[in-house]
Amino acid sequence: MKMNSLIIVFLFTLLQWSVQSAASAPCPGYTASNIQTHSTGLTADLTLAGPRCDRYGHDITNLTLQVRFDSRSRLNVHIFDSCRRQYQIPPSILPLDQGAGVTKAASKLQLSYFHDAQHGFGFRVSRGKDTIFDTSGHPLIFEDQYIEVTSCLPHDANIYGIGETPDWFRRDTTNTTKTLWNRDAPDPFRENVYGSHSVYMELRNGKFHGAYLHNSHGMDIVLANNTIQYRVLGGTADFYFFSGPTALDVIDQYTELVGRPNRIPYWALGFQNCRYGYKSVYEVNDVIANYSKARIPLEVAWTDIDYMDRTRDFTFDPVNFPLSEMQKQLKYLHAHNQKMVLMTDPAIQHNSSYGPYARGHEKDAFIKNSNGTTYFGQVWPGYTAFPDWFAPSTDKWWGGELQRYFDALPIDGMWLDMNEASSFCTGSCGSGKPESDVPPYPWTLDPPPPNRALDKRNRLLNPPYAIHNPQSELSEKTIETTAMHANGLADYYVHNLTALTSARSCSLGRLLQGSGAMANHWTGDNESTFKDLHVSIASMLDFGIFGIPMVGADICGFNGNTTEELCARWIEVGAFYPFSRDHNAKDMVPQELYRWPSVAEASRRALQVRYALLPYYYTSYQMAVEHGWPVARPLVFQFPETPAVLGNDWQFMIGDAILISPVLSKGARSVSAFFPSGFWYDWYDLSAVYGWDTEVTLGAPLEHVNVHQRGGSIVVGQEPGLTTYESRRNPFFARIALDSSGCAEGRLYLDDGETFSSPHRWIRLSFSSGALSVVQESGSYTVGPVLATIVLLGARVSGVQGVQAGVRYRTLGSSTIIKNLHIDLNSNTQVTFISP
């Protein structure tokens, strides 16, 4: 049983792949005419250049080309039906930043167009001497239900992104199909799952660039034969290109377009626990207490649909999870500075005596069949209606239900699940059924209910081009593609927007946009295997590209029984996910982190590092809010000119300073870690490794994960507690990791961590010539705890000038630990270190 969420919002959406050759009948392409240039771009008419191809639909004869230099680093190339009969995502659903517009001369990206007799009109996008998108040799195909755009790629290109799909981070460009069709599927390798993200980035000649197709239709994006080919089931060819040249630049440029990541409360960075299958509120109470007894941090207690009355939204099981006991649990959690998150599925039981359905029906807030009746699928509570997020009354109705819910139990975070949307049957299987007809769960019904027969003549149910969705048809286990929304559109056109629009409605009217701007994410129903542990790193890195940096996988795995060794190794990775949560499935072995002594010890050790790094995580996340930058990053983002890291997804960095080198294979007690050139300092014993762009074998006992700090960085943290509240009140430390020149720098961001309108403070720290400078950059937030400890990595000192008396020193190898400092972080300070 998979899940999504919000406020926080832990949203969830995913996808698939495999390669299919398009039909080989020649298509004429288009001829450009009436080309008109203007100050920030050009327009042109495109006319079909020969006999109709009608490969997978009906060719559209007259198209319009619009080119706009949105900014110095972003170029928009939009090709659409001149009569505008094709669906485009409206700004009311996803407003895009238009940019002020610049001249061609001011743009870092240039566009050229051409025509050849065989393939017709084409275009190239260039950055300096590099052509980064080139349609030459491939005709544009533009039909009512099929668009094909192909660009040439270098041999063995370095492509990252396009998803969501469990896969290795660097995409295989020889034979890959990424299918974008949101699907509730338990993380099958290289198949489409919960969401759709049509953005990729490429590393070429040491520099990154990116491209995004703004289109909500189902599609295949095929990597093969030194090309990237888009095969789309309708809409328009609305491309945005990003000049980079760094990976962080591309993500900055992309999230500037679609929306920056949302802000998060500080507590969201704490460790969290859940499982599907808790039998009562009292069992959850025991889990909370057991984490405390084991001295393992627990920030948030999550509960799955188990708490609901007959799995109906906004209700509480009167026997096992009575509201009064849930209120007591929430009061207890808040008294101990902990939080509560509960599940919600956007599927409402067909029952007139059930308030949310009755009120939604009255407000005309549900998706309909083509004949105007309410569409009823089948989800956990039986036959269900689905909110129509395009209906003008839905937000107000849904907001009212949420308000009643929060008035009864003011939970701290909301968890959205099943919003692909997911249904256990195909078609409106509940239509005509009496409200009293409540089917059993499909996994207990043998044989399962039959699917309705597919009408192959209906081109919305059975489009001429079959994207590589593994289901028997597009409508299987989701809302039927012929179901109708209030805007007059069939679900065929907006299926991939369902998760986005549900998160948007749940954001309670906040003026946000883009998936990452409204919701955070976990990677779905993974398996308890070492392979899934490894793939979880790649998936986490994918979402950094997608603009959703608050992401993580189910620690120890969701489906299947974990083992003591696997769970220990998984928490050593999961402790460093931006979103860190243990979660597993009903009827599987319990896997709370205190269940095995070795897992408990591995958890304490790894989470102690995480909690010490909370200010660094929070600072990194603020950089995501301001620039879109991911918190968790692949080595290739930081070291793009190092060939050995191009496909490295078995290590990862937090920010630009912390390197995690985990064990990902059964039985291993060492790990081969790649160290790029420069100094790297062991987090625990402060020993230095000098990287020569080679791999180093590191010891890795079962309860240990290797963590290193990059030379040249300053990381500010706090002494760790068992909650973020406790940790935030402890003294600060600064780890100054010197590079080969004896220099280092870092930044620290602070605010109250609770509200989104509080004062803030940005601080810059730099070290050179034996002195540390603490400089106030901006803001007026008052920092309470002092900087009490400095760890100088890579240098021995015997004294400090510019601080009070009573300072204590300790040397460890080539490093020095200076304690008992009282440095005020609210003012500029300089501390000079005296060499022995």
Backbone phi and psi for residue 494, each to the nearest 5 degrees, phi listed first: -125, 10
Give the integer Cα–Cα distance in Å for 825 and 352: 59
Give which of 310, 340, 317, 343 is closest to 328, Cα–Cα. 340
Using DSSP bridges, classify how beta strands 348-349 and 382-385 pair: parallel, antiparallel or unpaired.
antiparallel
Backbone phi and psi for residue 321, each to the nearest 5 degrees, phi listed first: -135, 55
Give which of 419, 357, 403, 359 is closest to 382, Cα–Cα. 357
Whether residue 597 has a cis bond before it, omega within 30° of 0 = no
The one-letter amino acid at 212: Y
Give the integer Cα–Cα distance in Å for 517 and 498: 15
Question: Would you tell me the crossing angle of helices 323-335 and 281-293 to the nearest 10 degrees?
Answer: 20
- 789 by DSSP, 3-state: which? strand
Helix H segments across 714-832?
A: 724-728
Give which of 490, 378, 483, 389 is closest to 423, Cα–Cα. 378
Per DSSP, what are the bridge partners of residue 32?
A: 46
Place of tokens 């290289």: 190
Question: Would you tell me the crossing angle of helices 530-545 and 247-258 to the nearest 10 degrees?
Answer: 70
Instruction: Output 308-313 pairs: Cβ under 8 A, ≥24 positions apart.
Output: 308/343, 310/349, 310/381, 311/345, 311/380, 311/381, 312/349, 312/354, 312/356, 312/381, 313/344, 313/345, 313/346, 313/347, 313/348, 313/356, 313/401
Residue 514: partners with Cβ closer than 8 Å, 6 or more residues away: 94, 255, 258, 259, 260, 547
Give which of 580, 631, 665, 670 is closest to 269, Cα–Cα. 580
Q: How many CB atoms lie within 10 A of CB 425?
A: 23
Give the integer Cα–Cα distance in Å for 682 and 673: 12
Element (H, E) at 23: none
Q: List the catalytic residues.
A: 417, 420, 525
Give the integer Cα–Cα distance in Å for 48 and 699: 64
Give which of 678, 728, 687 is closest to 707, Cα–Cα. 687
